Chain A
Amino acid sequence: MTDTLHVLTEIAMRFAALSLVAIGGINAILPEIHRVVVDLEGWMTSAQFADLFALANLAPGPNAMIVALVGWKVAGVTGALVATIAACGPSSVACYIAWHFADRLRQSPWRMIVQRALAPIAIGLILASGYTVARGADRSPGAFALTLIATATLAWTRVNPVWVLLGAGLVGLSGFA
């Protein structure tokens, strides 16, 4: 019991801190979540992490659901709730406060500067997320090929991502990946 409590506290504190640096959304903090739950704590393997990520993308709901899934995998339903609240709480409060200054922010020249400065960092972090998930998922040439195809599809077409995932799942049935 104390073990579960320890794990829950750990999740709450880690995710709450990450919440405030999640520039560009949850995808920005995926590598760090991976580092904590796979490398530091050993709560799951890199491949399991990639599976959870695929699951979070297949199911409806905000992308942030990956956080709930990680919490669930580590500490069940309570873990899912704690992880979700920790990951969304602090940033939500920050957002609520920022909203009250929105009008003043709109006038400030700093707003554009900060926005332009942050955008590339956010993209770099998304790229890092993709790399992290790929390291866990690509254990065969077939899987690597699927990753490449999905990358190209997303970058240059407007196909709904869900079809890409389902298609890859079907291809995978044959043991291709």
Chain B
Amino acid sequence: MGLLGFGGVLPWARRVMVDERRWLSDRDFAELIGLCQVLPGPNVVNLSIIFGARTHGPLGALIAITALLFMPVGLMLLIATVYASVAQDPLTRNAIAGASAAAAGLILGTALRLVLQTRPPLRGLLTGAAAFVGIGVLQWPLLWVIPVLIVVAVAAERHATPRQ
């Protein structure tokens, strides 16, 4: 599955695990993804760990992550080697410059799409903007900014959530 994931593995993972093999129901999958998104680390890697652990314990988790990561790493190194040998060619340089510019747009577009989809409340817009300015514009160290932001965001969210 690792090799199939052009433009990210998540859509493929869903298709194989839910539609083709029926290892998980749609609801199970959504719930697993929700959990993976709260946890740090690459979502798909986390997904494979939980899934591997659920079916075959620690060994399953280890096998799942190895298969997911090491095949693409091998292929990536092959591509990188080819890239290194053609990187000085002016035509290739032009093409890569175009692709890099678009790649930046891909992430910006993803972020924009998420904002439009989730429509965060004002407190969310503020913490999100703080993360963008602190990390992206001011380039403060992530290891400082994130813990502070998390504490502030959770406190604000707790305050806004009615107590049961």
Contact = CB atoms under 8 A, between A and B. Distances in A.
Interface in A2-55: 17-27, 29-32, 35, 39, 47, 50-51, 53-55
Nearest to A32: B142
Contacts of B118: 119-120, 123
Contact of B142 (A29, A98, A139, A162): A29
B123 to A, nearest CB: 8
Given A120-B128, A168-B102, A130 B108 contact: yes
Interface string A133-177: 110111100111011111111111000111011111111111111
B160 to A, nearest CB: 9
A24 B10 CA distance: 13
B158 to A, nearest CB: 6
Contact of B136 (A50, A111, A128, A137): A128
A12 to B, nearest CB: 15
A113 B153 CA distance: 9
Given A60-B5, A130-B111, A147-B108, A72 B99 contact: no
B101 A21 contact: no
Nearest to A49: B100
A146 B105 contact: yes
Q: How large is the interface on A (under 10, 10 to 19, 20 to 34, 35 or more residues)?
A: 35 or more
A142 to B, nearest CB: 8
Given A54-B102, A115-B37, A117-B154, A160 B143 contact: no
A23 B103 contact: no
A171 B95 CA distance: 7
A125 interface: yes
B76 interface: yes
Contacts of A112: 161
A105 to B, nearest CB: 7
B142 A146 contact: no
Given A53-B100, A91-B45, A150-B101, A162 B108 contact: no
Contacts of B157: 113-114, 116-117
Contacts of A137: 97, 100-101, 103-104
A62 B105 contact: no
Contact of B41 (A91, A115, A122, A155): A91
A52 B65 CA distance: 23
A74 to B, nearest CB: 12
Interface string A85-108: 001101110111011001001100
Given A126-B110, A131-B132, A137-B97, A92 B41 contact: yes
5 contacts: A88-B65, A116-B124, A124-B128, A134-B105, A171-B98
Interface of A: 17-27, 29-32, 35, 39, 47, 50-51, 53-65, 68-69, 72-73, 77, 80-81, 84, 87-88, 90-92, 94-96, 98-99, 102, 105-106, 109, 111-134, 136-139, 142-144, 146-156, 160-162, 164-177
